[in-house]
Structure 1
Amino acid sequence: MTYLDIEVFDENGEKVRVGDILKGRWTVLYVYPKDNTPGCTTEAKEFTELLPEFEKLGFQVIGVSKDSVESHRRFKEKHGLKVKLLSDPKTELIKALGAWGKKKRYGREYEGVIRSTFIVNPDGEIVWEKRNVRAKGHAERVLKIARELIGAQNGMS
């Protein structure tokens, strides 16, 4: 079983297979720890702001966390977010992507979500990945990579 076979919840609370959402389109899939926290809000707002640029390249932008569908709905409404958010309450997708692991905060070690971003090609293959990303300015860096990937695909570099 690959990460594409895992089922998560879409924004309507429907169970969906990851592959059905990703296949056929370029996708920025970003994994974040928690709705309505400062870093996650910054990241989601920046991806929303740049969404038209990603869409011009043929990309969809999807955020995933273990928060509930209801939490995602409130998060989107509160901040006017336009990116699609998936709910992975059992962290199956998050773990399959390697975005779960040991973290340190205030000297305490614990297991949790590692802020990570993946670019997935239309065949469902991860062609770029970055873990432990800093939220601020990240969407802009990912857009630059997306442009490079599309340029390379079209024979322009």
Structure 2
Amino acid sequence: MQRIANLLAVQHGQVLLLQKPRRGWYVAPGGKMELGESIYDSAIREFKEETNVTPKHVHLKGVYTMVIKDGDRVLDEWMLYTFVAHGVEGTPFEETREGKLAWHPLESLNDLPMAQGDRTNLLFAALNKGMQYGTFEYTEEFELLSENIQTSIEQ
């Protein structure tokens, strides 16, 4: 099973997002974990590679199972670990082979084109305390079929 780590940077009421060229969808920078790499190290490495900035005050905010289905048949499945950073050091790239980077108002997470599961987990990461867990099921075209979400806040 593939493991993916992404990281949403929040700073001055804005979020740093990557617009992918294929669909024009917005994502938090991230990518595949390397063998033996921790999820934390992976999220920071991928974020730095894709943005040219160093995240500050990094915390894990969500763990998700992502499933691609064709009817009842599972075509693909991976784990997504979503982190949030409160602040960054440096100046981000404007564009890389991965897409275009830009700061957006936090509220734009409600409206920018993106996978619906990404919207759910990025809004939680940016706005809520605690952790979120869940499973998102999609069609091959990334239409959301279902989501099952749980949250926890340590007392």
Q: Which of the two has greater helix per residue?
A: 1
Q: Which of the two has greater strand per residue?
A: 2
Q: TM-score, normalised by structure 2?
A: 0.30
Q: TM-score, normalised by structure 1?
A: 0.29
